[in-house]
Amino acid sequence: MVVAEHGVGQSGRSNRWATVPALAVGVVLLAAFAAPLHIESRFSIFPQDEGLLLVYPSLLLHGAVPSRDFESVYGATNLWVIAAAFKLFGTSVVVERAVGIGYRLVILGSVVVIAWRRRGPLAATVAGAVCIVFLAGTLGLAAFAWVGALAFASFALLMVDIGLSGPARGSPLVVGGVAFGCAVGCRLDMGLAIVLALGVVAFLRRESIRWLALGVVVGLVPILVNVVQAGVGAVFRDQVYGPIFVSGPHRRLPLSTLSRQELILLVLTVVVALATVLTGVLGLRRDRHDWGRVSLLVMGVFELGLLPEAFQRTDSLHLALVSCFILPAGVLLPPWGIRRAPFNLMPVLVGVVALVLSYPYFGRTYWSAVGVGKPQPMEYLVTGGGRQVPLASEQDQVNLTALLHAVDMRAKPGQRIFVGPRDLRTANYEDTFIYFLLPQLVPGSHYLEMNPGIANGTNSRLASDLSRDDFLILTSRYDNGAGLSSAVAHGGTAPNSIVKTQFTPVGTFGAWTLFERNPASRT
């Protein structure tokens, strides 16, 4: 089969989705995707990052508003997606992680379909394999806001690819615009990549941008509602100013924290993004109306807009969050220097190189998640309020079970409880998931997650929140800074003073200590 430089040849377009090849590719990739799920479902919860995905949607279902009733550094759209799933299927870790699986399937499906449309089944299979290696076994199954944003955005790029294939096609472009808007609603910092992509469409396909813009406005409805409910200032403070200019610098990690293999992968990711842009630009210089090159350039500038996520905290997790989309797109690059070949040699080669380079870390992690040669991990569940959460160890299970029992024996429904670090001058991290296990109590602070410079900042309201609480659960688990680059930074002493003067420790359970308000300090 001879393949056109910018996509599948005309003679192959009518049968590129032939049933047998499509089913074969789909079965292979779905089997590879599903292989580690039975083990990943046993992974311990991310105490704060996944904990907030359980607590915040539960609060939304009871009328709470992000940035008004609790701090939320991410957009409301992802929280509403999870809340809708809770409403339909029940509030549980299983349902939250099912949303995460759905996000990952959308990313995988979008990558595979785009590659198939452009390069055929072999390239689609390679692209899917690269995507799976980074998605599975590395990120767990949590429905993180970035994963949700990438799922919406990757689906939007697929719709743009369809909508730009010939004369402007309104329906897929509108759908793509809605998905772009939802992506921004999940993570506002995804907006850079999306603005770049929309800018290319506006410059090269003016007749198409109005359809995309219409869809974007619809997709932004959840975050616009959040702005109306909480106020422009509160949303800007929580979701833009705070994470970018205040807590963000404290959480950054230098490139030196990457291993050699991870650094090579980061370089390859940047090279693929730049090569995608260059290919689109050079192609459009020859033919400005080539829809394939327009779509490729849109994807390339979108990839460039994703790169800050990998550089703002250079660890394996954030690298995977970007490489899972950019490296599979390498199969879209043209077979430079090879005009006629039995298949798209160069694009497939890029995918194979990505797989080989990713194996020392991500590939081994994938096989570990599949369980090859290793016993399945134990699942240590702790139960509270009719809900269950998986933990990392049996000792944590024992300690938290005893802690929750002590709270149940002392607290009355509707009383206020705060969960945080033992030294409240720091705001490194916390066990947000404990709120999820105490649904009969009211979260006792605006800060249900600890972000440095915010919860312990000069304008923090943490001290006044604590003065109204009935119980505290403080932990020493994050005294080492939880991997922060400036963990030694301390805030004011007022919250610690309130703990010392108004609360009494009533029990210590491993790394957790339960405090109860002194009767004399009740107002």
65-79, 182-196, 305-319, 394-408, range with the lowest pLDDT: 305-319
Q: Which residue, among 362, 358, 353, 355, has the nearest Cα to 128 in the 3D structure?
A: 355
- List 390's β-bridge partners, or say none: 381
The whole-number pLDDT of residue 138 equals 65
More confident residue, 490 or 489: 490
Q: What is the mean pLDDT of residues 233-261?
A: 82
The whole-number pLDDT of residue 432 equals 97
Helix (H) or strand (E) holding 418: strand 416-421
The whole-number pLDDT of residue 479 equals 81
Which residue is associated with the tokens 């429905």? Answer: 143
The whole-number pLDDT of residue 286 equals 75
The whole-number pLDDT of residue 353 equals 83
Every domain of the chain and the residues it spans: 39-370, 381-521
The whole-number pLDDT of residue 118 equals 85
Q: What is the mean pLDDT of residues 56-63?
A: 97
| Alpha-carbon gap, residue 12 to 18, rounded angstroms | 10
The whole-number pLDDT of residue 474 equals 97
The whole-number pLDDT of residue 18 equals 58
Q: What is the mean pLDDT of residues 387-400?
A: 96
The whole-number pLDDT of residue 523 equals 58
The whole-number pLDDT of residue 13 equals 46
Mean pLDDT of the chain: 87
Strand 471-475, strand 442-443: pairing: unpaired
Work out the number of other CB atoms within 10 angstroms of the CB of residue 386.
11
pLDDT tens-place string over residues 98-129: 999 999 999 999 999 999 988 888 889 999 99
pTM: 0.92
The whole-number pLDDT of residue 1 equals 30
Q: What is the mean pLDDT of residues 30-49?
A: 90
pLDDT band at 2 (very low <50, low <70, confident <90, very high): very low
The whole-number pLDDT of residue 11 equals 38
b/e map 104-113, b = 16+ CB within 10 Å: bebbbbbbbb
More confident residue, 3 or 227: 227
pLDDT band at 230 (very low <50, low <70, confident <90, very high): very high
pLDDT tens-place string over residues 167-224: 656 899 999 999 999 999 999 999 999 999 999 999 998 888 999 999 999 999 999 9
Q: How far is CA 246 from the centre of its chain?
A: 20
* Structure-block tokens of residue 112: 């595979």
The whole-number pLDDT of residue 100 equals 96
* pLDDT at 343 exceeding the cut of 80: no
| Alpha-carbon gap, residue 427 to 163, rounded angstroms | 46
Most confident of 79-88, 273-282, 486-495: 79-88
Strand 416-421, strand 471-475: pairing: parallel
Q: Which residue, among 201, 25, 3, 278, has the nearest Cα to 118 in the 3D structure?
A: 3
pLDDT tens-place string over residues 437-482: 999 999 999 999 999 989 998 889 999 999 999 999 999 998 865 5
pLDDT tens-place string over residues 273-309: 999 999 889 888 777 667 778 899 999 999 999 999 8
The whole-number pLDDT of residue 354 equals 84
In the DSSP assignment, the letter for residue 372 is: T
